[in-house]
Chains A and B, each alone.
Chain A
Amino acid sequence: MAQAMVSALIDSFRQGDRLALARLITLVENRASARDEIIDSILPLAGQAYRIGITGPPGSGKSTLLEELLLKYRKDGKSLGVIAVDPSSPFSGGALLGDRLRMRRAGADPGVFIRSLGSRGALGGLSEAADMALDLLDAFGMERVFVETVGVGQSELDVAENAYTTVVVLVPESGDQIQTMKAGLMEIGDVFVVNKTDREGAGRMMEALELSLEESPAREGWKPPVLGTCAKTAEGVLELQAAIESHREHISQYGKLGNLRKEIGLRRIHKAVSSSVTRALWSDPRRAKLLDRGLDQWLSGAVAFGELVESLLPEGLHAKSQGEGDE
């Protein structure tokens, strides 16, 4: 796409054109080449919105709960943005993006902007695309921006990690899942929700969660609360909003929010540099040849693994040469 067109879109975006916002989200999602220019020109406008991640296993009622939350925030007059991520099919690359279906009342509100994204596989850089989409909503002037992802898989967890407050939504039947999720979801949650409290076992599930959280160390003076909600009847939604806002106040104190933005920015830079280096590394035909030969040698026992790896490292990164440099 012509450079002039991107600039024109950015101009319209600055004037509050929602169509330009939508088109720019598509561009950062589709074209890595357009990302830098877009993000660099809108980033000075960003940093005002508060970012909230909603994650949890499939079917835990995240979208329905998020809609209730959106309606509550709208009552307070807040402008809202939502990025809803659904998994893409690894076979066809297509996706059924169904979150919007569950947010129809909020979707009809002119103060809410909802955008659905397909996860497009890890290679598409989901967390970068979602993060930049959040930047765009933020720079557009939304006061609260939400990102909803299914809490399975590393890229989805990365997305949740890029929010200032992460809400983990579980259901009474998630008991066994907690065990398997301990290493993932339990660490990233700032607020835990057991949704569908009208079902049996909600109380037990909440107790189990609280117990499990007590075992993990408190994070910078914040103890993640465990709340019960029933999205169907909007029960507990006000308490959820209060918990999110109280976490926001908690991290806004002592400049923690600034640190968090830095951390998120740092992760983004790390990722961008790493993926550039990786791409350059493996697209080098000499290295491909070395690897080809080295693989056979290693498998036949002719060369040691460490030696092989060493031989494939780029200039200046060899452990030996670094060691020598240090001396």
Chain B
Amino acid sequence: MSEIIRVLVAKPGLDGHDRGARVIALALKDAGMEVIYTGLHQTPEMVVEAALQEDVDVVALSSLSGAHMNHFPRVRELLDEAGASRILVVGGGIVPDKDREELSSLGIGRFFGPGTDTRDVIDYIHEEMAARRANEEEA
């Protein structure tokens, strides 16, 4: 089945750098996905509400300000509370290795740091979505 993958690209928190988020948004669009970009300064609540209304498959969070340990797990938690555990949360930006492990244990998908090839992000999302859809069909 060739359903179009929908992705919400969001910048939670106060950091004002969204070049990376924009590059990712364009790359995902060129890879055939529908991308909704929420813009800067979003609270985790706003990100989750937008993700629910847009019924996205993936929430891609970007953080360059060091506040990722507050925002990323909160987004995951709110999504789960809202019954949207199926949504994949991935991260990008600057996050120390030790934090990455902890985020991963909290249900956040892979993290993409500086220098990432956008193709890696696209491949990862495709793999995850294919796996999830296979699971759903089995269930």
Contact = CB atoms under 8 A, between A and B. Distances in A.
Contacts of B82: 19
Interface residues of B, number: 28
A96 B55 contact: no
Interface string B24-38: 011011111111111
A309 B28 CA distance: 45
Nearest to B3: A30
B41 to A, nearest CB: 9
A93 to B, nearest CB: 5
Contacts of A118: 4, 34
A107 interface: yes
B35 A97 contact: yes
B49 interface: yes
Interface residues of A, number: 27
A95 B29 contact: yes
Given A30-B3, A107-B46, A120-B4, A96 B53 contact: no
Given A89-B30, A92-B31, A97 B3 contact: no
A104 B40 CA distance: 10
Given A19-B84, A114-B53, A120-B4, A95 B31 contact: no
The SS class assigned to the B binding surface is: mixed
Contacts of B35: 94-97
Interface in A99-113: 100-101, 104, 107-108, 113
B84 A92 contact: no
B39 interface: yes
Contacts of A89: 29-30
A22 B36 contact: no
B129 to A, nearest CB: 14
A181 to B, nearest CB: 28
A18 interface: yes
B123 interface: no
Given A92-B29, A93-B32, A118-B4, A22 B38 contact: no
B32 A94 contact: yes
19 contacts: A18-B52, A19-B84, A92-B32, A93-B32, A94-B28, A94-B33, A96-B29, A96-B35, A97-B35, A98-B37, A101-B39, A107-B46, A107-B50, A107-B53, A108-B49, A113-B53, A114-B50, A116-B34, A116-B36
Interface of B: 3-4, 6, 25-26, 28-39, 42, 46, 49-50, 52-55, 82-84
Given A93-B32, A94-B30, A97-B34, 10 more contacts: A19-B52, A23-B55, A26-B55, A92-B29, A93-B4, A94-B29, A94-B35, A100-B36, A107-B46, A118-B34
